């Protein structure tokens, strides 16, 4: 059999599998989110008997969805910016200065990825208790997110700094540019995609981060993932959970589409924080 034929067969079967894998679960979620409480969706019916956006309105009015959305969407961009600010000096040092121990420093940046999230969460909360800082949960979670998501930002920014070309800097100097102009001319063009990628990745990871938000935030500080988790818990109402699940996934899809565009030319493994 020809390679092209094999590819075709493999491709169609794979697309079928993936359609089943992606389309069915999501269709089910959408359908469930549209089930009207007037009549339940029983196993004998292919589609919900009565469909409405009642659940969406209900969740909006009567659950912690609004504070959760507010918290998540204040937390994530703040974490993204704080992480980038904290990561950039280190990335500059790792990317542009030769010093003994650089490899060790690079390894240390990976620590947050190696220590399991729940261990970090629990003992971070323990430290906060010891220090008596547990009152300001937003600040605590913001700080923790910034630290545990820093490996991604450092990795991406280090590569960006490495890509700044010394001859551009030298040319700018040679032509009499001041320090600020040099940054504008030689550094920023090379750093821009990295900055965007770092912000987006930290944003997405912070939006969906569960362990720290759950351990440090509970019970009073709710984010979308912790709300979804509690909805999936003892008082599990499937249509309500469907609404939350869909809300949680929307920003990811939008952000990832932007990210894909940004990283198209770059190496995919850059964004994984491993090197």
- For tokens 């987006």, what's the residue? 200
Cα–Cα distance list, 131 to 120, 128, 217 (Å): 16, 5, 16
- Give the integer Cα–Cα distance in Å for 271 and 275: 10
Residues 97-116 within binding reach of other proteins (CB under 8 A): 97, 99-100, 105, 108-109, 111-116
Nearer to other proteins, 163 or 171 (CB): 163
Nearer to other proteins, 24 or 175 (CB): 24
Q: Residues 48, 193, 217, 225: which binds other proteins (CB under 8 A)?
A: 225
Using CB under 8 A as the binding rule, whether residue 136 contacts other proteins is answered as: no
Nearer to other proteins, 85 or 175 (CB): 85
Nearer to other proteins, 118 or 175 (CB): 118
Structure tokens at 27: 């269709």
Q: Residues 1, 38, 43, 135: which binds other proteins (CB under 8 A)?
A: 43
Please state whether the peptide bond connecting residue 194 to the residue before it is cis, i.e. omega within 30 degrees of 0: no
Q: Are 118 and 198 spatial neighbours (Cβ–Cβ below 8 Å)?
A: no
Q: What is the DSSP letter of 184?
A: I
Q: Which helix (H) or strand (E) holds 92?
A: helix 65-96
Closest contact distance (angstroms) between CB of 217 and other proteins is 14
Using CB under 8 A as the binding rule, whether residue 1 contacts other proteins is answered as: no
Using CB under 8 A as the binding rule, whether residue 7 contacts other proteins is answered as: yes
Nearer to other proteins, 78 or 120 (CB): 120
Using CB under 8 A as the binding rule, whether residue 14 contacts other proteins is answered as: yes
Using CB under 8 A as the binding rule, whether residue 147 contacts other proteins is answered as: yes
Using CB under 8 A as the binding rule, whether residue 234 contacts other proteins is answered as: no
Using CB under 8 A as the binding rule, whether residue 232 contacts other proteins is answered as: yes
Which ranges constitute the DSSP H helices of 149-269?
A: 150-163, 166-174, 179-182, 188-208, 211-217, 224-231, 238-263
Using CB under 8 A as the binding rule, whether residue 215 contacts other proteins is answered as: yes
Distance of CA 177 to the CA centre of its chain: 38
Nearest in space to 252 (alpha carbons), one of 240, 241, 263, 260: 260
- Give the integer Cα–Cα distance in Å for 148 and 155: 13
- Give the integer Cα–Cα distance in Å for 260 and 275: 19
Using CB under 8 A as the binding rule, whether residue 22 contacts other proteins is answered as: yes
Radius of gyration of the chain (CA): 23
Residues 68-87 within binding reach of other proteins (CB under 8 A): 85-87
Nearer to other proteins, 14 or 175 (CB): 14
Nearer to other proteins, 77 or 117 (CB): 117
Q: Are 145 and 86 spatial neighbours (Cβ–Cβ below 8 Å)?
A: no
Closest contact distance (angstroms) between CB of 175 and other proteins is 26
Residues 113-132 within binding reach of other proteins (CB under 8 A): 113-120, 122-124, 126-127, 129-130
Using CB under 8 A as the binding rule, whether residue 60 contacts other proteins is answered as: no
């Amino acid at each position: 059999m020809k390679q092209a034929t094999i590819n075709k067969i493999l491709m169609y079967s794979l697309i079928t599998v993936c359609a089943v894998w992606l389309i069915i679960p999501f269709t089910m979620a959408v359908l469930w989110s549209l089930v009207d409480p007037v009549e339940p969706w029983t196993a004998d019916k292919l589609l919900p008997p009565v469909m409405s956006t009642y659940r969406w309105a209900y969740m909006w009015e009567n659950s912690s969805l609004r504070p959760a959305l507010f918290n998540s969407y204040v937390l994530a961009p703040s974490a993204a910016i704080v992480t980038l600010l904290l990561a950039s000096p280190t990335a500059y040092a790792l990317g542009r200065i030769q010093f003994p121990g650089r490899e060790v420093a690079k390894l240390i940046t990976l620590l947050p990825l190696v220590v399991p999230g729940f261990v970090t969460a629990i003992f971070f909360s323990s430290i906060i208790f010891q220090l008596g800082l547990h009152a300001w949960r937003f600040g605590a979670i913001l700080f923790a997110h910034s630290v545990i998501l820093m490996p991604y930002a450092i990795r991406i920014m280090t590569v960006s700094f490495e890509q700044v070309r010394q001859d551009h800097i030298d040319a700018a100097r040679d032509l009499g540019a001041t320090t600020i102009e040099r940054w504008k001319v030689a550094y920023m063009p090379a750093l821009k995609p990295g900055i965007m990628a770092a912000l987006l990745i930290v944003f997405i990871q912070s939006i969906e981060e569960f362990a720290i938000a759950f351990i440090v935030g509970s019970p009073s500080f709710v984010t979308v993932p912790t709300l979804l988790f509690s909805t999936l818990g003892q008082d599990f109402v499937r249509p309500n959970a469907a609404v939350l699940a869909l809300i949680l996934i929307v920003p990811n899809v939008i952000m990832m589409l932007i990210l894909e565009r940004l990283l198209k030319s770059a190496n995919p493994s850059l964004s994984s924080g491993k090197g």
